[in-house]
Chains A and B, each alone.
Chain A
């Protein structure tokens, strides 16, 4: 029985996905997000697309937003890992993106930022934004 319980516990550890953005500090990430405020908002499109619903969304897939051809063709689905790679070097990760930004080079800052985006994505204000299904 103990072995079974141990196995069940191990299985739980394997199959329970970590909360998105679990590695970072969302409060610190909120301050980092202020760097994005020239072009992005959580709830509505600006020069850049909105961030509510970002995690799990396919890149370049928000209807009505004028993405670069490069982003539309990137085949990226935004996850903690893909965001981490993109934010580290947007122009290197997706050559041709219109996000002409050097990136967030500090790994902890990226983790914090992603944690904030994940938390904000679960907020009531984001819940009220019409969500579009991810296209995978």
Chain B
């Protein structure tokens, strides 16, 4: 099933819009959790638990760097001329999620006393291999799958459990992106019972 086929199915499209709306609600929940955790961690740092705080800031900054790259990648995809509606709209909506992730991560890092990384002036993407809409979607799926794994690997190493919970919430959002992108190129959207 491709999104081009979905484009001819109004009921499914409505369901997808509702689903995307719900995922935004989930993201808002993540933002709330991050911002709540921020205060707890800031307090810990103030009490001298600096090593845990510094480690968390490094993890958050790595996540922020990856989110900023994902935003740039979706921009490349959107401007490639290869994505047709409704796939283009979907890519832009996923990009907006990454922008929200990045915004919250940057604010949290700053509140914790860290210096958020900023977007690079130039990113390298394998644009010479992106010739079709499916190429772009497969590339995006690769990034999203990597993001799922990265957040999965970050959750257990956060010193602050609220940050871990928030990272898990972002992980869920990335996993939904990955599943939908896989579905769009005709692959099983959920290939296994577990992610790694």
Given contacts A37-B142, A38-B66, A91-B157, 14 further A-B contacts (CB under 8 A): A34-B145, A35-B145, A37-B146, A39-B65, A41-B124, A46-B69, A47-B65, A47-B66, A91-B55, A98-B58, A100-B58, A100-B153, A101-B157, A102-B155
Q: How many A-B residue pairs have CB under 8 A?
A: 68
B154 adjacent to chain A (CB < 8 Å): yes
Contact A100 B157 (CB under 8 A): yes
Which A residues are CB-close (under 8 A) to B142? 34, 37
User: What are 30 A-B interface contacts by the 8 Å CB criterion?
Assistant: A34-B142, A35-B146, A35-B153, A36-B149, A37-B145, A37-B149, A38-B143, A38-B146, A38-B149, A39-B62, A39-B146, A39-B150, A41-B126, A46-B66, A46-B69, A47-B65, A91-B157, A96-B58, A98-B61, A100-B55, A100-B59, A100-B62, A100-B154, A100-B157, A101-B150, A101-B154, A102-B153, A102-B154, A102-B155, A102-B156
Q: Is B147 an interface residue (CB 8 A)?
A: yes
Main secondary structure of the interface of B (DSSP, over half): helix
Indicate the size class of the contact surface on chain B.
20 to 34
Does A99 sit at the interface, judged by CB under 8 A?
Answer: yes
Please tell me if the beta carbons of A35 and B196 are within 8 angstroms of each other in the complex.
Answer: yes
Residues of chain A within 8 A (CB-CB) of B123 are: 46
**A103 at interface by CB-CB < 8 Å:** yes
Q: How far is the CB of B54 from chain A (nearest CB, A)?
A: 8
Q: How far is the CA of A91 from the CA of B58 in the complex (A)?
A: 11
Interface string of A67-79 (1 = CB under 8 A from B): 0100000000000
Chain A, interface SS category = loop
Which residues of chain B from 95 to 138 have a CB within 8 Å of any chain A CB?
A: 123-124, 126
Contact with A along B137-166 (1 / 0, CB 8 A): 000001101110110011111000000000
How far, in whole Å, are A134 and B30 apart by their CA atoms in the complex? 42
Q: A30 within 8 Å of B by Cβ?
A: no
Q: Which residues of chain B have a CB within 8 Å of any CB of chain A?
A: 55, 58-59, 61-63, 65-66, 69, 123-124, 126, 142-143, 145-147, 149-150, 153-157, 196
Question: Taking beta carbons and an 8 Å cutoff, which residues of A are in contact with B?
Answer: 32, 34-39, 41, 44-47, 68, 91, 96-103
CA A112 – CA B143 in complex, angstroms?
Answer: 21
Specify which chain A residues have a CB less than 8 angstroms from the CB of B66 in the assembled complex.
Answer: 38-39, 46-47
Whether the pair B59, A36 counts as a contact (CB closer than 8 A) is no
Contacts of A98 in B (CB 8 A): 58, 61-62
On chain A, the residues within 8 Å of B63 by CB distance are 100
Nearest residue, chain B, Cβ from A92: B157
What A residues does B150 contact at CB under 8 A? Answer: 35, 38-39, 101
CB-defined contacts of A91 to chain B, threshold 8 Å: 55, 157
Query: Is there an interface contact between B154 and A35, defined as CB atoms closer than 8 Å?
Result: no
Task: For the complex, give the distance between the alpha carbons of A35 and B178 in Å.
Answer: 13
CB neighbours (8 Å) of A39 from chain B are 62, 65-66, 146, 150
Smallest distance from the beta carbon of A37 to chain B beta carbons, Å?
Answer: 3
